[in-house]
């Protein structure tokens, strides 16, 4: 799964680095970024295709946790933050968004926890990023629902997940779908089922390292969250 991310870039930096998408509405997010320990329910800059009939893509703000449009009051339980590759095209919660409302979720990295005992109570958190430290885009889907009090349209999103690559399999059985730059516009486009893009990203382009357990609380949101604390099995793949 993917339930926590970090974004080292400011909004202007992110727009410059992903210049194929215009700034859109994210300027009003102000000084919310960088964010070192980003959790669900917060708002993030995502990239959507403005109209399926055009090739224009732009940044918008969206809340992490997908709420479908038919859930007029936002739903009564925590919204899903991930959509599994195996069911994204058929699950009633995801299928319409997958067919026509896909998005890119730009980040600098994400976090995952490795279970250290059978009970799952002991866990070691890891930070995961690109080996060259460049930002990357996760595959997402987005929706809008109407707030029952204000009538405001609220945009939400979830991140697609798939089976792990060789690197991630050493600590977990899932990973987010990461898209190569050459696939960004195809993912955003009108194709209803780009299923072949929902696959593990190459291990040799990624790295991960063990970090302190304080990442478990989103209140801890400082740059040292991603500091390495020691050597772990992941470094067999981090050369």
Strand partners, 59: 47
Token digits for 117? Answer: 């005992």
Tally of residues, the chain: 239
Whether the CB-CB separation of 58 and 14 falls below 8 Å is answered with no
* CA quadruple 181, 187, 191, 193: dihedral sign: positive
Structure tokens at 23: 């700034």
Which of 2, 103, 143, 162 is flagged as catalytic?
A: 2
C-beta separation of 169 from 58 below 8 A: no
Name the strand (E) or helix (H) holding 97. helix 95-100
Q: Which of 19, 86, 112, 143 is catalytic?
A: 112
Residue of 57, 165, 63, 167 whose CA lies nearest to 104:
57
Does residue 2 carry a catalytic annotation?
yes
Number of other CB atoms surrounding residue 216 within 10 Å = 14
Q: Is 103 in the active site?
A: no
What is residue 166's three-state secondary structure?
Answer: coil
For the annotated catalytic residues, the residue numbers are 2, 112
């Amino acid at each position: 799964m993917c339930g926590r991310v970090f974004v080292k870039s400011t909004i202007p930096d992110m727009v410059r680095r992903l210049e194929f998408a215009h700034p859109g509405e994210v300027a009003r997010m102000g000084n919310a970024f960088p964010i070192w320990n980003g959790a669900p329910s917060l708002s993030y800059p995502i990239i959507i295709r403005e109209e399926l009939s055009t090739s224009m893509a732009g940044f918008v703000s969206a809340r992490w946790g997908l709420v479908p449009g038919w859930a007029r009051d936002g739903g009564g339980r925590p919204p899903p933050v991930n959509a599994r590759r195996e069911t994204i095209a058929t699950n009633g919660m995801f299928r319409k968004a997958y067919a026509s409302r896909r998005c890119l979720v730009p980040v600098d990295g994400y976090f995952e926890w490795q279970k250290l005992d059978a009970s799952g109570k002991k866990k070691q958190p890891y930070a995961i990023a690109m080996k060259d430290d460049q930002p990357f885009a996760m595959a997402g889907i987005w929706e809008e629902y109407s707030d029952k009090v204000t009538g405001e349209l609220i945009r939400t999103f979830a991140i697609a997940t798939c089976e792990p690559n060789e690197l991630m399999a050493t600590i977990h059985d899932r990973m987010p779908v990461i898209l190569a730059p050459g696939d960004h516009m195809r993912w955003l486009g009108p194709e209803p089922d780009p299923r072949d893009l929902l696959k593990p990203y190459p291990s040799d382009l990624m790295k991960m390292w063990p970090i302190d357990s304080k990442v478990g609380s989103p209140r801890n949101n400082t740059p040292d969250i991603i500091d390495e604390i020691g050597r772990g099995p992941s470094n067999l793949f981090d050369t």
